């Protein structure tokens, strides 16, 4: 089985594709599987830096049928960057035997386009789950092998709400981002056996508090109508030096879990990337003390959360080009968020 390699590079602006120069000279266009990046927009409905980045990167993904996933918002110390997932041949010895007993593998795909009234509903969750299960089958991996399912999902615009033939989950475009992320995350949980099919509606109604995935990373944007899906997993059929561990932060200052996960990186191994979801706790508290992330009329709560968690993660990781994405509905416990650490032995 062909595994993957991951290369990371900072960007000078949302239209910067110079990261391609960081790839090995032997890399062919059909080898580029996915581009996952952070852009310096506001991360909200009118963040067009995501659209610009997708527009300039997508032509480089046509040969492979790959996808782009861009998350807006690099508040605080976070640096705009991209992580390139590239197909890589298995590492073998001269006699043809495997150099490594396992390795990381990835598969990408997309759901069908969603109608406006389907966004944020059980329909979106089920369709997303079906796509993930198909990708897992193609990778020949089981639920426990998966470390992260990263998805870019659509949102509602005013035009979509007006044109919809049925009532939408909300007419508020910003709130639609959260509903779409939630439905997508519940779909991931369904695919990975973390939520049963008869628990979908309850998970949605509780806004993810009674059903969530510890391996979901979802961000929404106006630049697409379907879900772009990346499944990252370990496979004993692959042979490469890439490894991953995953977990979740219980709240925005959960330093303990970050240290626990990074401590699993063997001495001498290379830190590749860390993917983290962040959100302000909806009860207005962090460990019993009041926060004002949800009541600031000037700055959206997800932006506060990205800045706070981004600083914590960057401090632990030792780099600022880390993937911290705001809005963790159904992607960990309320106020927390999923974490996936990738390293190279």
User: Which residues define the annotated binding site for substrate?
Assistant: 50, 71-72, 181, 219-220, 306, 325-326
Residue of 53, 219, 234, 281 marked active site:
219
Q: Quickly list DSSP for 96-139.
A: S-BSSS-EEEEEEEE-PPPPGGGTTSHHHHHHHHHHHHHHHHHH
Binding residues for Mg(2+): 279, 328, 331-333, 336
Asked if 239 is an active-site residue, the reply is no
Residue 175 C-alpha from the chain's centroid: 19
Asked if 107 is an active-site residue, the reply is no
Q: In this structure, are residues 235 and 148 in contact, taking their beta carbons and an 8 Å threshold?
A: no
The secondary structure of the chain in percent helix, strand, coil, rounded to multiples of 5, reads: 30, 30, 40
Residue of 152, 160, 239, 277 marked active site:
152
Q: Quickly list DSSP for 144-184.
A: GGEEEEEEEEE---HHHHHH-SS--S-S-HHHHHHHHHHHH
Distance, CA of 282 to CA of 176 (rounded, Å): 16
Binding residues: 50, 71-72, 181, 219-220, 279, 306, 325-326, 328, 331-333, 336
- For 201, counting Cβ atoms within 10 Å of its Cβ (0-12 exposed, 13-18 middle, 19+ buried), the class is middle
Distance, CA of 77 to CA of 85 (rounded, Å): 24
Give 289's contacts (C-beta < 8 A, 6+ positions apart).
none
Of 112, 204, 200, 195, nearest to 154 (Cα)?
112
Q: Which residue has tokens 């033939």?
A: 165
Q: 110's torsion region: left (phi>0), alpha (psi -120 to 50) or beta? A: beta
Show which residues are catalytic: 152, 219
């Amino acid at each position: 089985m062909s595994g993957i390699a991951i290369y990371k590079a900072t960007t000078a602006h949302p239209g910067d594709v110079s990261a391609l120069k960081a790839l090995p000279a032997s890399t062919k266009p059909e080898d580029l599987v996915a581009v996952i990046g952070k852009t310096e927009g506001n991360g909200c409905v009118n963040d067009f830096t995501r659209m610009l980045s997708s527009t300039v990167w997508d032509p480089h993904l046509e040969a492979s049928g790959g996808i782009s996933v861009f998350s807006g918002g690099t508040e605080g110390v976070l640096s705009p960057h991209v992580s390139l997932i590239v197909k890589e041949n298995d590492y073998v010895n001269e006699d043809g035997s495997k150099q490594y007993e396992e390795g990381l593998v990835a598969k990408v795909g997309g759901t069908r386009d969603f109608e406006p009234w389907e966004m944020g509903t059980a329909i979106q969750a089920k369709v997303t789950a079906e796509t993930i299960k198909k990708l897992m089958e193609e990778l020949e991996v089981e639920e426990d092998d998966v470390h992260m399912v990263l998805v870019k999902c659509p949102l509602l615009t005013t035009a979509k709400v007006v044109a919809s033939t049925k009532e939408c989950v909300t007419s508020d475009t910003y709130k639609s981002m959260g509903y779409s992320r939630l439905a997508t995350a519940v779909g991931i949980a369904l695919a990975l056996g973390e939520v049963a099919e008869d628990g979908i509606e309850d998970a949605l109604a509780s806004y993810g508090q009674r059903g969530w995935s510890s391996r979901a990373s979802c961000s929404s944007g106006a630049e697409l109508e379907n879900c772009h899906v990346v499944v990252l997993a370990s496979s004993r059929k692959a042979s490469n030096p890439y490894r991953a561990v995953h977990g979740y932060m219980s709240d925005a200052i959960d330093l303990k879990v970050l240290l626990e996960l990074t401590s699993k990186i063997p001495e001498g191994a290379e830190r590749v990337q860390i993917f983290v979801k962040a959100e302000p706790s909806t009860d207005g508290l962090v460990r019993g003390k009041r926060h004002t992330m949800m009541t600031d009329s000037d700055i959206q709560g997800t932006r506060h959360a990205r800045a706070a968690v981004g600083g914590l993660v960057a401090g632990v990781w030792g780099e600022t080009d880390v993937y911290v994405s705001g809005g963790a509905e159904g992607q960990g416990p309320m106020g927390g968020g999923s974490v996936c650490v990738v390293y190279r032995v």
